[in-house]
Chains A and B, each alone.
Chain A
Amino acid sequence: MTNFVDRFTLNFIADGRWHYIANGLLVTLQITFFAVLLGITLGFVIAIIRSTHDNTGKMKIGNAICNIYITVIRGTPVVVQLMIIYYVVFASFDINKVIVAILAFGMNSGAYVAEIFRSGIMSIDRGQFEAGRSLGFNYRQTMMYIIMPQAFKNILPALGNEFIVLLKETSVSGYIAMQDLTKGGDIIRSRTYDAFMPLIAVAIIYLIMVMIFSKLVSMLERRLRNSDH
């Protein structure tokens, strides 16, 4: 037991090493939060363009661009995308790494969210769309008032899952020398030569965040379900 206390002190208390964890956590949360926002926005726009094309045959060029985007993003590892954005795209700019990470993870997530949104839109019975249009709603209004609210409810679990994946994926931020939560633990490990303590601590923090988030999603889901059926 004293052994445990000693190791805990060495890894987290001595030299204020817990700061690596705390600051890293803050960076991780920051990246995840804004990447989620970017991902939803991007995914929403892409899904609307692709569904509009599927439904009306309009927006051919937009649809083609979206298809390429989704294929490329989903066909390459996120860590490679992150490094390309940092070391290639912004090579000659002095740019905040947090912004680079938000861009990389947000753009990556957008491709997956787009497909989730689109499958949600396609899951709605065509009769709903026709009922909306026959009342006099235009395409956009029908989407906004009738299709989207139902689609959103259907995709909530998949969306929640995507954000859990995103949260965990930000752990590769160390590849562009960012000090996120994972990197924080790793720095402690390299200082104290104790792998167990800092890495387990990091793992537990991720786990707790994922569990809290899952709980929030299922609460929201239940509330939405109660509001009909």
Chain B
Amino acid sequence: MITNGETLIKVEDVHKIYNGGTLHALNGVSAEIKKGEVIVIVGPSGSGKSTFLRSLNLLEVPSTGRIFFEGVDITSKKTDIDQHRQKMGMVFQHFNLFPHKTILENITLAPIKLLKKSREEAEKRGMELLDLVGLQEKAHAYPSQLSGGQKQRIAIIRSLAMDPDVMLFDEPTSALDPEMVGEVLELMKELARGGMTMVVVTHEMGFAKEVGTRVIFMDEGEIKEEGSPKEFFEHPKEPRLQDFLSKVL
């Protein structure tokens, strides 16, 4: 049992190399993520933010280095990664809802098939989650009938239905029309306040300041600076970060 403050994810000197060695997307990244933390990752385009986030649940397999989740080395060949992914929710920029399934089926598919919940049980929980985001009346609609903001909120609760120990977000609001960004951020803040461990790649600095417990600046495949939102935004040390912040703030 992992309690607040204990290490949930440990990243040890991870490198990710593409194109036969010519492209170093991650260049020796180490990090420790504790339970209850809300980590916000920022950085310029191509700096390796997505690659880092996606290596946490092994959607990208590190070229070298190790990643521990709840004490287990998930980069080890012997580890059943599918088992551990059930405990790591992931939210994508483009939602990736299943278009051939209703909203409720999107939410209940994994709990029924993987957690072996009964249909009734899974649907009951699904409706509770839909209630949380105020979308109960969409239960039997299909994803194509929803707005972008609604789709992303459904994607978030689809992950929550698996009762994950951590939620990974890769630019969850970047594909949204501006007027829909707020509703998604609001839900994410609610999760953060509820104690969910979160790792969020985003350009929304307001989110970082409001609920982030730590902000990480990535550049050229490395973690160049990190700190509490206050020191990060008010007293950035790295010139690259100062330059970056002057552009985005």
Contact = CB atoms under 8 A, between A and B. Distances in A.
Given A145-B109, A229-B144, A135 B162 contact: yes
Interface in A115-164: 125, 127-128, 130-131, 133-138, 141, 145-146, 149-150, 153
Nearest to B158: A135
B71 interface: no
Interface in B1-55: none
Given A141-B113, A145-B113, A228-B142, A135 B159 contact: yes
B96 interface: yes
A128 B142 CA distance: 15
Interface residues of A, number: 20
A139 to B, nearest CB: 9
A193 B82 CA distance: 70
Given A136-B82, A228-B144, A149 B59 contact: no
A135 B110 contact: yes
Nearest to B84: A136
A146 B101 CA distance: 9
A96 interface: no
A20 to B, nearest CB: 47
A130 B162 CA distance: 16
A167 B18 CA distance: 48
Interface size class of B (residues with CB under 8 A): 20 to 34
Contact of A135 (B99, B100, B114): B114
Contact of A138 (B82, B99, B162): B82
Contacts of A131: 90, 92, 96-98, 155
B86 interface: yes
B82 A137 contact: yes
Interface string B161-201: 01000000000000000000000000000000000000000
Contact of B59 (A133, A136, A150, A228): A133
A119 B107 CA distance: 28
Interface string B96-127: 11111100000001100110000000000000
Contact of B96 (A130, A149, A227, A229): A130
B237 to A, nearest CB: 35
Contacts of B94: 127
B25 to A, nearest CB: 17
B86 A227 contact: no
A140 to B, nearest CB: 10
Given A127-B92, A228-B142, A137 B110 contact: yes
A137 B89 CA distance: 12
Contacts, number: 65
B88 interface: yes
B160 to A, nearest CB: 11
Given A135-B110, A145-B109, A228-B142, A153 B100 contact: yes
A65 B149 CA distance: 47
Contact of B114 (A128, A136, A150, A227): A136
Contacts of B143: 228
B82 A150 contact: no
A61 to B, nearest CB: 21
B246 interface: no
Nearest to A139: B82
A128 B158 CA distance: 14
Contacts of B88: 134
B86 to A, nearest CB: 3
Given A150-B100, A228-B99, A135 B85 contact: yes
The residue among B57, B92, B110, B143 with the most chain A CB atoms within 10 A of its own CB is B110
B114 A137 contact: yes
B96 A127 contact: yes
A163 B213 CA distance: 60
9 tightest A-B contacts by CB?
A: A136-B86, A131-B96, A134-B90, A127-B96, A135-B110, A136-B85, A228-B142, A138-B82, A229-B144
Interface of A: 125, 127-128, 130-131, 133-138, 141, 145-146, 149-150, 153, 227-229
23 contacts: A125-B96, A128-B96, A131-B96, A133-B59, A134-B57, A134-B88, A134-B90, A135-B85, A135-B86, A135-B110, A135-B114, A135-B162, A136-B82, A136-B85, A136-B110, A136-B114, A138-B82, A146-B98, A149-B100, A153-B100, A227-B100, A228-B144, A229-B99
